Chain A
């Protein structure tokens, strides 16, 4: 064994998070280390640069997006909201500027798309690609060659998101939801992706294992489908299209983005980390195969349900409803597979932060996917259409499922890259509580607020003229009722969620500065054997 390999070894034993029930022994160094661990350490070391770049920038965008989300949510019930200590602004003589910025650039109509862009293209995509890079190295047993290429791509992507968010706040908006970024920003993102995605697929080509990991299928699907959906949507929405075609392309792209990019990336991570941490194989390989093919084929067909009743060809909506109902099959396969794999091991969630985040993430996945099936049915859609219900389902996917799984993965991967363990179990616990309860509050209030307004807004059986007479029911009244949900969403949901993410960001910065527990004993949420 060479010296350089020996030097890598201290990063190895962090895998202790896998078996909490067994007292973790002090790692025994060089001579006894098995070749597999050495190989893993070398692969981890090769992935260190790009993966940490992805994580750090992703967490920056997470903080930015949470702030924007709070502002956007608050603007819905306090339209002239200006955050911060106003006495300080007036002391500095900038209160006029601050007010005009928050009245114009951070008004709901700009803060909301900026929030979505920072969340989707900033935090979620970058974290997902970081985890995917590390997973490709691990699963294919290849060192990341020329990691500079990936880092280069990551910075390009970040530049794109930064341009996009700033331009949206400055008023450049394409008018298409979840695709608001200016074309310059999209070009940067696409260019960055070419470096990242192509490199990922090239590494896949040089895989040195034939182990049947379903995660690889999901990763390949994600890396292949994203540029197609993104590139096609970009080209189609910038060419001359007949009328509502742009809206149809936009809806189609959203289906690809949520199901085939975030869905597949998140499932790849969940399929890797759950069996890894509990040290058990996946319950059924065949179920996971059905789940995979069902998800990939139907995922791109379900998006038109949001155009229900709109000025589009009716068959599109019908097809999407049918596809959504068929989605029950892959969703059931996935949920049963995760649930059965975890059965008998749920106790380990008391110890392992990775398992706690990832498994709760998969529960959110089942909820999000189930709600999108439910919302597709015409009878349900007649209550939920045009309300915040759709935001709730999308947030369940993004911050319930995807972000949770990514947090779990980051808690697992980072110690193996930086060579020390997470500083504080309290920080991790607080992060989990804030994310789970804050996130659930945000999701729940979008959904309940949607149902509450939708019943009167959409219900064809409500006689509006009678309702006007009986309950002084005007549109503004309905929205004022909805304001209560928005208030709880900002004061409890986004505040809890934001505080948790700040704790997480500080914790991650400590890791980057190598302030933490010494490598060797993973930071568990409770000591094995301790009552919890």
Chain B
């Protein structure tokens, strides 16, 4: 054993080195990050701010809470890697790699570390016409899938209804049994014994949160990857 003074100094030094290199330096590097602002000449407000704080409404935050509560982030990451690290972009999960600036308004960015399900960084990615781009299937199959709220409700209630070999857990607790009343709700996932299963507020907020996930806007440090024919 070392002399106690050597031992304590050494251990303290190890902690300082680790904290400085892994926490303090990245903090000073990242704390200056600002949203990318496009401000056209003669306008009194910016025409484009990304990422924007406005998206983070109460419902959005509640949806994120449900996402975390049920541990969705253990299987669904929210980060797209550069093509040199993996075929994330080619797979249809996003148009460009994710960068630190995408997450500056997130309380706890749910980057995730394991992919037992597809990536959700750009689940709600759409173009100006509102056409959806995110996909996880062969392009031909993806065209027949509409990944909207109704799909999400069905998937949450029982993932194996739409994707027969899914290992995603069912979440019946996000739905409630109601009287049919004036007619079957368009969001009902199951009709049984004269009753219908409809999504609760939690399920609606979770779906709204997923649809709002869009980190596809071009940033100067992360240009949108150009489509290249792979030959």
Q: Do A and B come from one complex?
A: yes
Contact B69 A172 (CB under 8 A): yes
B residues less than 8 Å from A388 (CB atoms): 114, 116
Contact B172 A311 (CB under 8 A): no
Q: By the criterion of a CB under 8 Å from any partner CB, how many residues of chain B are at the interface?
A: 79
Closest-CB distance, A254 to chain B (whole angstroms) = 10
Whole-angstrom distance between the alpha carbons of A390 and B15 in the complex? 24
Segment among A24-32, A276-284, A298-306, A333-341 that sits at the interface with chain B = A298-306
B90 close to A (CB within 8 Å): yes
Contact A243 B14 (CB under 8 A): no
B38 close to A (CB within 8 Å): no
Contact A242 B30 (CB under 8 A): yes
Segment among A154-162, A418-426, A476-484, A516-524 that sits at the interface with chain B = A476-484
* Given A109-B71, A319-B21, A462-B87, A300 contacting B111 (CB threshold 8 A): no
State which size class the interface on A falls in: 35 or more
- Nearest residue (CB) in A for B121 is A311
Segment among B42-50, B97-105, B185-193 that sits at the interface with chain A = B97-105
B169 close to A (CB within 8 Å): yes
Contact B87 A242 (CB under 8 A): no
Closest-CB distance, B112 to chain A (whole angstroms) = 8
B residues less than 8 Å from A248 (CB atoms): 22-23, 26
B223 close to A (CB within 8 Å): no
A177 close to B (CB within 8 Å): yes
Beta-carbon contacts under 8 Å, B1-15 to A:
1-2, 7-8, 10-15
Segment among A52-60, A73-81, A121-129, A504-512 that sits at the interface with chain B = A73-81
- Nearest residue (CB) in A for B164 is A476
A residues less than 8 Å from B108 (CB atoms): 174-176, 237, 246
Contact B83 A460 (CB under 8 A): yes
Q: What 0/1 readout, one digit per residue, does chain A (217-260) give for beta carbons within 8 Å of chain B? A: 10011001100110010001100011111111101100110001
Whole-angstrom distance between the alpha carbons of A388 and B15 in the complex? 29
Whole-angstrom distance between the alpha carbons of A80 and B29 in the complex? 45
Closest-CB distance, A313 to chain B (whole angstroms) = 5
Contact A100 B173 (CB under 8 A): yes
B154 close to A (CB within 8 Å): no
A residues less than 8 Å from B84 (CB atoms): 460
B residues less than 8 Å from A252 (CB atoms): 18-19, 22-23
Q: What 0/1 readout, one digit per residue, does chain B (155-188) give for beta carbons within 8 Å of chain A? A: 0000110010111111111000000000000000
Which B residues contact A (CB, under 8 angstroms)?
A: 1-2, 7-8, 10-15, 17-19, 21-23, 26-27, 29-31, 33, 68-75, 77, 79, 81-87, 90-91, 97-106, 108-111, 113-118, 136-139, 141, 159-160, 163, 165-173, 230
CB<8 Å pairs between A and B, sample of 7: A103-B170, A175-B68, A221-B7, A224-B11, A319-B21, A385-B85, A460-B85
